[in-house]
Structure 1
C-alpha cells in the first residue's frame, strides 16, 4: 500500500464539508479535461490565487495526463500527502490546497502573506506586541485573522449592507464558543439596515445599536487584528466591513474599553496596575472640574483651610464665578483638540502646542483664570487621553460638562446625584443582551434580552 492511499478521498471530502460549514471563504474548484477530473478545496482568504492558478489550474490543462499532473505536484518540496483527516485540516488552515485526484488527496502549499500595505496602528498603540493593523481591503483583513486563528471552528459569513453601496460585510466567530442568540440577533439587525450608503464600521455601529441616542458606545471598534482574534477566542463576534480599516467587536461591556493589549503582554500585577491607572484617570477627567466648581463656590469648608486659602488667593484677580472659568478653559482645550485633528499633520502638533502654551500663559497673566485652573485643565486633558478607545473618551468628554452643570446649580450634592444617575444609566445599557457593567455581575453566562442594546 502506498502512502497516498492512507486517506480515503470521499471520507476526506465529507470531513471537510462538516468542519468548514458556514465558512464563507472556502473555495471548491472542479477541473475537467475530457475524462479526467480534479477537485481543489482551499481557503481563498489565506491561499494565493496567483499560485493556485499558475501551478494547479493552468498545469492541469497543459499536462496530458493525471499521472504527469501528480508528478508535477510531488516535484514541489512543500507538497504533502496527509495521513489522516486531522493532518489534512491542519495544513489547510495553514494555507495549503487540498487536491483530490482519483481516490487520494494531496496538499500543495499556496500560503498568501499580505506583507505590503500593512501599516502600524494609529489609534491603538502598544509598547510590545504585534505592530500591524487592518487595512481598507476586507480580503486582507480576513487573511490577517485567519493567520492568527488557525481552527476550523472559525466561521466567516458574508453579507452585504447598503441598498446602493452594496458594502460587503463578514461576520466572524468561533462556532464552539459563540452564543447563538447573539449571532442570530446580529444577523437580524444587519439585515434591517435600510441606509442607501454604508461606508464605515461606525455607521453600522450607529444603525444597529439600541437606543440610538446614547452617550457611551456599546460596540467596540478596533484596528488591531490581535485584539480581534483575542475577542473571538473569548466567544465574541467580529464584523469586518469593506473599505474601512476597523472591525466591530460585540458584545462590548464597559470594562472592554479600558483594556489595552499591553495588559495581556505585561506581567499580571503590572497589567492590573495599568488598568487601575485608567480607572483613576476616568474619575479625574470626569469629576475634577465639577469638584473645583463645588469646592470654590458651594462647599469650601470640606477642604483644609490652607487649600481653601490657596485657591482663594489664586482666584483673587479672576472677575467671574468659578464655573465660567472652568468652562472657558475646558472649551479652549476642546478647540485645541479639534484643531489638532483637522490641521495638516506637518503643522498640527506644533501649532496646537504653541497655541496652548500661549493661551494658558496669557490668560493667567491677564487675570482671566487662576494658576490652579491651568493645572486642573492640563490634568483633565491628559487623563482623558489615557482611555485606550477614542469612542469611550469622546463620551467621557461630554460627561464632564454634565457634572459641571450639576455642580454649578447644586454643588457637591449635585455631583453625588450625578454619579448615582450615571451608574443607573450604565447599568441600564445592554450590548446584545449583556449587561454593560458585566464586570460586576456574578453569572457571566446569564441570558438577556437581545433586542435591547
Structure 2
C-alpha cells in the first residue's frame, strides 16, 4: 500500500476528532510532515530527537538515515498498524513519500497516585491525577483505538475550567451524548471547581436521592465503560471522572468482579446485594416486628428480644433512631478527622457508646447488634454516592414503618422500586440491566 493511501486512511480515521496533530517542517529544500496525538507524546523528545536534527542536517537523505538509526524507529507495514501506533504514542513522519514511525510515548504512570477510594486486591491500582492531559494520556494508554474521541469545553465564567468529554464514536450511546453536549452548552455558572458540582449541574433531577452519574478515580473503569458505549467527563484539576449514563447496577459493581472466576464473582455480588438489603431494611424490620407484629418471631426469639428491652424507657422506634443517629455521627467523624487519629477515635467511640448505652439501659443489647450489622452492611456498598443515598432512604423507611408497621415498610419498598423505575440517566432507564459481557468483549478486542 502506498504512503498516500495510508495517510488518507489515517486522516479518515481521525476526521471527526481534534486529537490528531499535523505539523509541517520546511527548511532549505527539506520537507517533512509529522502526525501525532499531542496528549500521548513527549514533546521534549519530539523537539530533541526530530525537529532539532531536521534543521541541523544537510539534506533529507541524511535525515532519513538518522531516523532509521534511532532505537525508537519502527517500520510501517500496514495502514492499521500505522493508526494503532499513532494512538499508542508514536509519531508518524512522512519524507518523500516514505513513512517512518518513531516511538515518543509519554510515560506518566510515575506522575499519578494509587487508588484511595476504589481499592482492589487484584488488578491495577493506578488512579487519575489532577492534570487533565495526564489523565487523557492514561486513558489512551489503555485504549488503543482511533475511534476514541475527545472533545473539550471551557466552562465557568471566573475560573474557565476545561472539561474533556471522552467516548468511542463507534460504540457511544448517541442519545446520551447529545443530551450531555446540550446541557454543557447551556451550562452557565461562574465557578465550577469539582466534578461533583458538574454532576449536579448536568442533572435535571438535582433533588433526586439516587446519583445518575458514576464517579470514579480508576482509569481501567473508565476504559471499561467507554468500551460499553458510555461517556466519560474529566474536569481539569480533579482526580475523579464522571461516567454517564449510569444505571443502578453500575453502583454495585467493582472492577475486581471481572478479575475473579465466575463462582467467586457471583458469590461476592450476592454478598454485596444481601448487605444492601440488610442496611436498607433491618432497622425498619426491627421496629415493625417489635412494635406491631411480634408474632412474626418464634416464641423463644420473641422472649429474648422482649427480655433484652427490659428497663429501656423508649419505644423501639426511638431506640433505633437514637442509635442510628450516633452511628451517623461516628461515620461523619471518621471522614472529617485526620487519618492518623480517625480509625482509633471512631473505634474507641463506638465501643464506649455501645457498652455505655446498654449498661445505662438506654438501648438493648440486640439493638447494638442490629446497628453494628447495619453499619458493616453499609460499608459493603462499593460506591460512596449510593452508600450515602441508602443511609437517607433507610431513615425514610424507618419513619414510615414506625407509623404504619410492616405494611408501611412493604409499601415503602414498593414505592422505592417505583421511584427507581421512574428515574433515568441521560435517556437510559435507571433499572436497566447493563450488558457487562458485551462491554468486556469489546474491551478485550481493543486491548
Query: Does TM-score exceed 0.5, indicating one fold?
Result: yes
Secondary structure (helix, strand or coil) at the match of 1:288 reads helix
1:123-162 alignment, distance < 5 Å: 123-162=117-156
Shift of 1:102: 2.1
Aligned to 1:298: 292
Shift of 1:34: 3.4
**Alpha-carbon distance in 2 for matches of 1:366, 1:117:** 54
Aligned to 2:43: 49
Q: Does 1:188 align with 2:178?
A: no
Shift of 1:119: 1.6
Aligned to 1:7: 2
Structure 1 alignment gaps of length 5 or more: 1-5, 445-453
Q: 1:247 to 1:406 in 2, by over 3 A?
A: same
The counterpart of 1:427, out of the listed 421, 430, 440, is 421
Q: Is the 1:155–1:173 Cα contact (8 Å) retained in structure 2?
A: yes
Secondary structure (helix, strand or coil) at the match of 2:36 reads strand
Shift of 1:141: 0.8
Aligned to 1:102: 96
Q: Does 1:347 align with 2:346?
A: no
Structure 2 alignment gaps of length 5 or more: 439-447
Q: Is the 1:41–1:97 Cα contact (8 Å) retained in structure 2?
A: yes
TM-score normalised by length of structure 1: 0.94
More moved, 277-286 vs 157-166: 157-166
Q: Is the 1:138–1:243 Cα contact (8 Å) retained in structure 2?
A: yes
Secondary structure (helix, strand or coil) at the match of 2:433 reads helix
Aligned to 1:325: 319
**Alpha-carbon distance in 2 for matches of 1:109, 1:274:** 42
**Alpha-carbon distance in 2 for matches of 1:424, 1:207:** 25
Aligned to 1:30: 24
Secondary structure (helix, strand or coil) at the match of 2:280 reads helix
**Alpha-carbon distance in 2 for matches of 1:440, 1:404:** 31
Secondary structure (helix, strand or coil) at the match of 1:112 reads coil
More moved, 74-83 vs 345-354: 74-83
The counterpart of 2:58, out of the listed 51, 64, 81, is 64
Q: Is the 1:7–1:83 Cα contact (8 Å) retained in structure 2?
A: no
Shift of 1:15: 1.3
Aligned to 1:112: 106
Alpha carbon RMSD of aligned pairs, Å?
1.5
1:207-356 alignment, distance < 5 Å: 207-356=201-350
**Alpha-carbon distance in 2 for matches of 1:273, 1:318:** 39
Shift of 1:260: 1.0
Aligned to 1:203: 197
**Alpha-carbon distance in 2 for matches of 1:306, 1:253:** 43
Aligned to 1:90: 84
Shift of 1:294: 0.8
Q: Is the 2:72–2:104 Cα contact (8 Å) retained in structure 1?
A: no
Shift of 1:176: 1.4
* Off by >6 Å, runs of 4+ in structure 1: none
**Alpha-carbon distance in 1 for matches of 2:253, 2:208:** 21
Deviations 1:33-74 (A, max 9, x none): 133221111011221111111111112122232222212211
Aligned to 2:74: 80
Q: Does 1:375 align with 2:377?
A: no
**Alpha-carbon distance in 1 for matches of 2:402, 2:179:** 43
More moved, 34-43 vs 228-237: 34-43
**Alpha-carbon distance in 2 for matches of 1:366, 1:63:** 89
**Alpha-carbon distance in 1 for matches of 2:402, 2:96:** 82
**Alpha-carbon distance in 2 for matches of 1:191, 1:36:** 44
Q: 1:184 to 1:76 in 2, by over 3 A?
A: same
More moved, 59-68 vs 223-232: 59-68
**Alpha-carbon distance in 2 for matches of 1:68, 1:358:** 79
More moved, 266-275 vs 26-35: 26-35
Q: Does 1:393 align with 2:390?
A: no
**Alpha-carbon distance in 1 for matches of 2:26, 2:214:** 47
Aligned to 2:430: 436
**Alpha-carbon distance in 1 for matches of 2:15, 2:418:** 42
Q: Is the 2:247–2:434 Cα contact (8 Å) retained in structure 1?
A: no
Deviations 1:84-130 (A, max 9, x none): 21221122122110011122211111011113232221111112111
TM-score normalised by length of structure 2: 0.95
More moved, 104-113 vs 76-85: 76-85
Deviations 1:371-401 (A, max 9, x none): 0011000000010010000000000010000
**Alpha-carbon distance in 2 for matches of 1:44, 1:349:** 44
**Alpha-carbon distance in 1 for matches of 2:31, 2:303:** 91
Q: Paired residues, what number?
A: 436
Deviations 1:287-316 (A, max 9, x none): 100111111111111111111111111010
Shift of 1:440: 9.2
Aligned to 1:449: none
Q: Does 1:21 align with 2:18?
A: no
Secondary structure (helix, strand or coil) at the match of 1:438 reads coil
